[in-house]
Amino acid sequence: MGALPKADPAMRPQLRNDVRFVESPDGAYVHSDYGACTVRGRQAYAWLARLAPALTGHHTLAELTAHLPGDRRAMVEGLVGRLAEQRFVVDARQAHAHGLSEEESREYAEEIAFVGYALDSPESRFARVRRERLVVMGSGPLLEALAGACAGTGWRHLTVISPVPDAAGRAAEAARRDPGQHFRTLAPAAFAPAAADVVLQVSADPGELVATARACEAAGVVLGQAFAGPGEVWLSQVGQPARTAAESGWHRLVAGRRFSADLDEDLLVGPVPAVVAAILALGCFSCVTGLDTGRERALTRVDLRTLDTLPHRFLPHPRAAARPGGGAEAPPSGDEAPSLDADALLALTADLVDARTGVLTTLDEQALAQSPLAVCQATVSDPFGVLPGWTPRPQAFGWGPDQRTARLRCLLAALATYGLLALGPEEEGTVWGVELPDGRPRAVPRTVLRLTASTPATDVPRPPSGTGTPRSPLGTGAGLSRSGALAAGLRSHCEHLLSTHLPPDAARTGTPITPEDDPAAEALLRQLVLAGEPPRIRDHTSVLGMPAVTLTTPAQETLVSVAATIPDALRDGLERLLLGWQSRTTRQPAYARATPLWPPDGDPSEAVRVMAGALRRAGKVPVAVPLGGDPEAARLLPFVTRVVLLDG
């Protein structure tokens, strides 16, 4: 039969009731509701047929093989070990006293068998369902169906808490399985988490769900929740709130949600509430009996039109975590974390992006034109509700010569925008930043950093006409390293300052330049010429004492580009000029005035030195403040910053 795993001689092997086996050309084919496998060997079927009647759990494996010769004993131990490995055989010695009566064991035999398919000691596990106190709370048809589903599962102690509990109480009575079940109904004011072991809640108010999650966490109570929204129901995992992170899930859902405002049809009718309630009731049953071993944070969305279910992963929300309070934050240490690899950051997309519960709700190319430049668009969630509810969610754009570059830049821009929104609106006081380039700590008022309706208009790039999308203020940036994020934030300030210092005829002043020994810049210029928009390119390094160019075409405003070197600034400027042409000719104004929130090409450390020095000479003190209001987002990308200009 080949090498088989040896079983523990002290085990009491018991063959599951649902196991069937037949002879096959290779040996014995074994099948159950839990799976199937082939035990290979010429004598496998014969040995299994002789052994199966003895696998009752009443004898140890050592007792069963005591009178067998050594080679046959090893064969039987190996066969039992293989069956146990595939969970066709369980160890009956692990069974615990369960306290179920014969009537209970008979009435709930199917539920016990369901647990037994996956776990040992199913009776003792089901006894937890009979022993623990369950509270279902809320209102509406979903609550009624949930009360009936839980009563039908066998919960002995069931309390219904609702403003109108009679209907739910009747549903529980209709599903009663045995006379030992105790049902009662209470008004909402009587709810006390400490009086329950498990709570299931139905609500159409995320605020109620959050409050209950906090109360159950404080009381150490297992919790499962359902949010009844227009056209869909969202279900949390069932478990300790600290493990399921239910509160974070509701915060993330609110931060990124966009429900249909015109969906007035009531879809919780007919069999729909029973189907949805069964999912939550099964989750509760699985949690209490130990069937549910999942540890991934997720909400489950149930589409009420199709009854399709889809999991939505999420990160812990900063509002759900314990946060230190009182006083200003400590000055930053100045220690720089290791830089990130571009591929490593792109691999985190799965953690960051979800259409409903993600830090970013979209990150893709959508229907945007992808030639001559690749363009990617992201939609950013609003974790603290900083923006008015009627405004569209902020968008971020990235572009480049290929899709990977565009997506990486878009991800950086989106996380920079998110970092601004993650500054809680209720928090006042100061945060600590560092002056550039020397790194001296300096306190900065929080009000200077936030993206709010009161942000000065001169500090925010104007959005494209008709889009209504909020834009990140000057100085916002992200990078794959600390110096990259600083260079990104400094760039927008330098370009804005330079544009205010240029003479009116900037297209005719300065030194004319063309790309030299730079194939990428030459290709960009060639594309603009072929498009009929050859730019006038001027070197304006002398204006502020940093590498800077202007690019002017009849169809577009003069574009200013700065970087650590003239070739880097020229290449970046040509790329943005081509992007503007692409936006206009494809009639996609959304990214017409998009600004880069990532560092320019070249050495970011040199860019920081050059740009910060130029701003200092202009009488400005650049102060960089890390945007780490969301610890989870900052853990994935720690290099997000806002550079503000203060007086010396």
Cis omega (within 30 of 0) on the bond before 372? yes
Does residue 51 register a pLDDT over 80? yes
H/E stretch holding 410: helix 403-421
Percent of the chain residues past pLDDT 70, beyond the cut = 90
User: Tens digit of pLDDT for each residue in 445-487?
Assistant: 887 876 654 444 345 444 444 344 556 789 999 999 999 999 9
Does residue 93 register a pLDDT over 80? no
**Residue 304 confidence (pLDDT):** 94
Q: Is 373 helix (H, G, I), strand (E, B) or coil?
A: coil
C-beta neighbour count of 72 within 10 angstroms: 13
CA angle 143, 145, 151 (to 5 degrees): 100
How does residue 264 score in pLDDT terms, banded at 50, 70 and 90? low
Does residue 3 sit within a domain? no
Rg of the chain over Cα atoms, rounded to whole angstroms, equals 33
Top pLDDT among 393 and 337 is at 393
Distance (Å, rounded) from C-alpha 111 to C-alpha 122?
A: 9
In a shared domain, residues 151 and 220: yes
In a shared domain, residues 398 and 307: no
Average pLDDT over residues 30-52: 87
Does residue 201 sit within a domain? yes
User: CB–CB of 471/485 below 8 Å?
Assistant: no
Percent of the chain residues past pLDDT 90, beyond the cut = 63
**Residues in Cβ contact with 645 at an 8 Å cutoff, skipping those fewer than 6 apart:** 475, 493, 615, 620, 621, 622, 623
**Helix, strand, coil share of the chain (percent; to 5):** 40, 20, 40
User: CB–CB of 12/5 below 8 Å?
Assistant: no
Does residue 280 sit within a domain? yes
How does residue 206 score in pLDDT terms, banded at 50, 70 and 90? very high
Backbone angles phi, psi at 582, to 5 degrees: -65, -40
In a shared domain, residues 70 and 149: no
Distance (Å, rounded) from C-alpha 408 to C-alpha 340?
A: 12
C-beta neighbour count of 622 within 10 angstroms: 26
Of the residues 313, 328, 354, which one is the last residue of a structural domain? 313
In a shared domain, residues 149 and 89: no
Does residue 336 register a pLDDT over 70? no
Top pLDDT among 411 and 9 is at 411
Counting the structural domains of the chain, the total is: 3
User: Tens digit of pLDDT for each residue in 10-40?
Assistant: 888 888 878 899 999 989 999 987 789 898 8
Q: Is 374 helix (H, G, I), strand (E, B) or coil?
A: strand
CA angle 140, 197, 130 (to 5 degrees): 90
- Burial of 572 (C-beta count, 10 Å sphere; 0-12/13-18/19+): buried
Does residue 572 sit within a domain? yes
* Helices (H), ranges, 198-245: 206-219, 241-244
Does residue 101 sit within a domain? no
DSSP 8-state class, residue 558: E
Strands 133-137 vs 157-161: parallel, antiparallel or unpaired? parallel
Does residue 334 register a pLDDT over 70? no
Q: Distance of alpha carbon 346 from its chain centroid, rounded? A: 14
- Which of these, 553, 534, 569, lies nearest to 561 by C-alpha position? 569
**Residue 532 confidence (pLDDT):** 93
**Residue 335 confidence (pLDDT):** 52
CA angle 186, 190, 191 (to 5 degrees): 95
Does residue 517 sit within a domain? yes
- Which of these, 389, 420, 419, 452, lies nearest to 255 by C-alpha position? 389
Average pLDDT over residues 438-447: 88
Distance (Å, rounded) from C-alpha 145 to C-alpha 273?
A: 6
**Residue 460 confidence (pLDDT):** 46
Parent domain of 83: 13-94
User: CB–CB of 621/646 below 8 Å?
Assistant: yes
CA dihedral 397, 403, 407, 408 (to 10 degrees): -120
In a shared domain, residues 454 and 506: yes
How does residue 606 score in pLDDT terms, banded at 50, 70 and 90? very high
Of the residues 70, 94, 118, which one is the last residue of a structural domain? 94
User: Tens digit of pLDDT for each residue in 382-429?
Assistant: 999 888 877 888 999 999 999 999 999 999 999 999 999 998 666 677
H/E stretch holding 512: strand 511-512
Does residue 40 sit within a domain? yes
Does residue 358 sit within a domain? yes
Across the chain, which distance is largest between two alpha carbons, in Å? 105
In a shared domain, residues 136 and 83: no
Does residue 326 register a pLDDT over 60? no
Sign of CA dihedral 357, 360, 361, 362: negative
C-beta neighbour count of 441 within 10 angstroms: 14
* Helices (H), ranges, 422-550: 482-501, 519-530, 541-544
Supply the mean pLDDT for the chain. 88
CATH code of residue 73: 3.90.930.70
In a shared domain, residues 502 and 556: yes
Does residue 73 register a pLDDT over 70? yes
Top pLDDT among 262 and 53 is at 53
Residue with tokens 């936030």: 450
Of 287-301, 319-333, 366-380, 632-646, the range with the lowest mean pLDDT is 319-333
User: CB–CB of 143/166 below 8 Å?
Assistant: no
What is this structure's pTM?
0.84
Residue with tokens 């030299």: 516
**Residue 333 confidence (pLDDT):** 43
User: CB–CB of 486/436 below 8 Å?
Assistant: yes
Of the residues 313, 332, 353, which one is the last residue of a structural domain? 313
In a shared domain, residues 509 and 396: yes
User: Tens digit of pLDDT for each residue in 497-519?
Assistant: 999 988 777 667 888 999 988 99
In a shared domain, residues 390 and 535: yes
In a shared domain, residues 175 and 280: yes
**Residue 330 confidence (pLDDT):** 44
Residue 217 identity (one-letter amino acid): E
Average pLDDT over residues 79-99: 78
- Which of these, 256, 239, 279, 521, lies nearest to 362 by C-alpha position? 256
User: Tens digit of pLDDT for each residue in 122-179?
Assistant: 888 999 999 999 999 999 999 999 999 999 999 999 999 999 889 999 999 999 999 9
- Which of these, 140, 203, 137, 186, lies nearest to 167 by C-alpha position? 140
